[in-house]
Amino acid sequence: MFLKNSTSFATKIVVCMVLFAGIASSQQPMSNMERGWATDMWQTVASDIRKNYYDPTFHGVNWEAKTQETKLEISKAATMDMAFSYIAVGIFCALFAGVSFHGSRKNC
């Protein structure tokens, strides 16, 4: 619906989340290796969205700025759960870029 090739994109997301779900614990601080995994996962997701999103202008959302903002949030995340939540928000912002919710047109 939102992506040109959403099946392969969705598959990648599910595989990444399953692979890293067992590693993450909400109470344990993130190691440098885990932070690297989360950053790599975000870069892969962001790149796939950039290549496959149906509107190359992202309805006015500055995708490069959002990508860098999410990367910075991941670098400051205390746990893998927090990093995953930043990735999820980044994906949400891409999929619903510029969409109006209850009359409000707020970009991510």
Residue extents of the structural domains in the chain: 6-95
One-letter amino acid of 10: A
One-letter amino acid of 43: Q
Exposure b/e, 42-51, CB count within 10 A at least 16 = b? beebbebbee
**Residue whose pair of structure tokens reads 């598959």 in the numeric block:** 11
What span, in angstroms and rounded, lies between the C-alpha atoms of 3 and 51?
9
Backbone dihedral angles phi then psi of residue 61, each to the nearest 5 degrees: -75, 130
Q: What pTM value is reported for the model?
A: 0.67
Tens of pLDDT along the chain (108 residues)? 455 555 566 556 655 665 555 555 456 888 999 999 999 999 999 998 888 888 888 877 888 988 999 999 999 999 998 999 899 888 887 777 665 555 444 556
Tokens standing for 68?
Answer: 């860098």
